[in-house]
Amino acid sequence: MTESFGERLRAGLDKRGPLCVGIDPHPGLLHAWGLDDSPAGLERFCRTVTGAVGDLAAVVKPQSAFFERWGSRGVAVLEETIADLRAAGALVLLDVKRGDIGSTMSAYAEAYLDRGSPLAVDAITVSPYLGFGSLRVAIASALANDAGLFVLARTSNPEAAELQALVADQVFAGVTEVNAGASPMGSIGVVVGVPQDHPLERLNGPILAPGFGAQGATAADLPGIAGAASHNLVPSVSRAVLDDPALIRERAARWRDDFAEQL
């Protein structure tokens, strides 16, 4: 690769529109599709989703836990899904929320960000709760491999509000520093699902916005989240797109268009 993640993401959002589709194949969803809760059912589910949105969504976000629960068989499906999505032109954001120190964080970075890894993706989610400095290894690996990170800052789940309010400013400051001078935007982003007083345009990076669809947020809520930085928003929707396998592409396109209208 010769383009940074920030450059690829900007191009993808401009070309395909502001949409991230989450792949969350939990047992209830597999059963609703008439599939077995098994690696075979998981593989069929992922192939259907990939075929429907791989060439439509700018970003697709598999949730690693739903693959890991099947051990090596599930991880094999995840590897295949990543390869299929990237072949279709989507950027792959793996939702793993990793966070650790030293050699352990280095190993996580090698697993998901090193170009030679079978699990290599365009970006991953990371947790800053061992200190923003603990992410420096992952940041260095991401930048060296033209990949990206999305750091948890102010997520949409209400349980997190009190804790995240204490550390969000440190996350924003750290991301702002790393992205300084990058064009058209930096490769280190944040996860923000609620409106912020912080001027997010200073981040100069992407903003993953969860909570749309099944969690209650609508496209009309989007402009209030990031203010002047709304052009860098990557709104994410999962269950509201995936509930009916026959309607995935239609629903994804509708959410994308609704988001674009609001932005």
Catalytic residue of the set 97, 136, 231, 249: 97
Rounded distance between C-alpha atoms, residue 191 and residue 19, angstroms: 14
Q: Tell me the one-letter amino acid at 79.
A: E
Copy the structure tokens of residue 232: 């860098």
Q: Which residues are within 8 A (CB) of 107 and not within 5 positions of it... i.e. 6 or more apart? A: none
Rounded distance between C-alpha atoms, residue 224 and residue 194, angstroms: 8
The beta strand positions in the chain, using DSSP E, are: 20-23, 59-62, 91-98, 123-126, 148-154, 188-192, 207-212, 233-237
148-157: string of b/e by CB count within 10 Å (b at 16+)? bbbbbbbbbe
CB 259 within 8 Å of CB 17:
yes
Q: Catalytic annotation on 61?
A: no
Supply the residues annotated as catalytic.
Answer: 97
